[in-house]
Amino acid sequence: MTAVFRKLCRDDMTEAASVHRTSFDERLPWLAQLHTPEEDRGYWRGHLFATCDSTAGPHSQACIALRYTIRCAMIVSFRHKGLEAFYRSGTTKGIRAAHAAKLARILGLLDVAVGPEDLNLPGFKLHLLKGNLKGHWSIWVNGNWRVTFRFVCPDVELVDYQDYH
C-alpha cells in the first residue's frame, strides 16, 4: 500500500496539535500537561503553520510529517549538567526537587522561544544581566535561584541554573 500525503491546512490545526501533544507527552512525560490545548493550537498556528510545510497521510492520526522551511527555535547548549539531565530525562538529581515544576515550565518555553519577548511573563522576572554575565538573560526560579541563558536567535544557549547573588 502506498501512502499518499497531502498538505495540511488550518482546518487540520486542532487535530495536528492533538497528535503533537500525544507524542510530546509520550516522549517527554515529565513535561506532560505543560501547555493547554489552546496553547498547543497557538503553537501550531504561530510557529509550525507559519514556518513549515506540514503534511499528513490518509489517517493523520497515524502520521504527521513536517518539512521545515526555516529552523525552529530550540535550546542548543547547557552549562549546568543537572539541568541538562532534568531536561533530557526528567531526573531531579543535580537540581533542587522543589524547583522541578517551575524549571519544567521555563525549559519548555525556552525550547520554543525565538526572542526575549516570548519569555516576559508574570512571575518570571525576566531581565538582561550586566557585569560578568553581560548579554545573558535571567529568569527567577525561587529565592536567589535563577535560570540564565543567552539568545543566539532564534536559539537559546548556555542555559545555567544558579544562585548568582
Q: Which residue numbers are catalytic?
A: 165
Nearest Cα to Cα of residue 41 among 14, 73, 12: 14
E runs forming strands in 64-163: 64-68, 127-128, 137-142, 145-152, 155-163
Q: Which of 66, 73, 103 is nearest to 88 (CA)?
A: 103
Classify residue 92 as exposed, middle or buried by CB count within 10 Å of its CB (0-12, 13-18, 19+). Answer: middle
Distance of CA 151 to the CA centre of its chain: 14
- Which residue is it, cell 526528567? 90
Q: How many other C-beta atoms lie within 10 A of the C-beta of residue 156?
A: 25
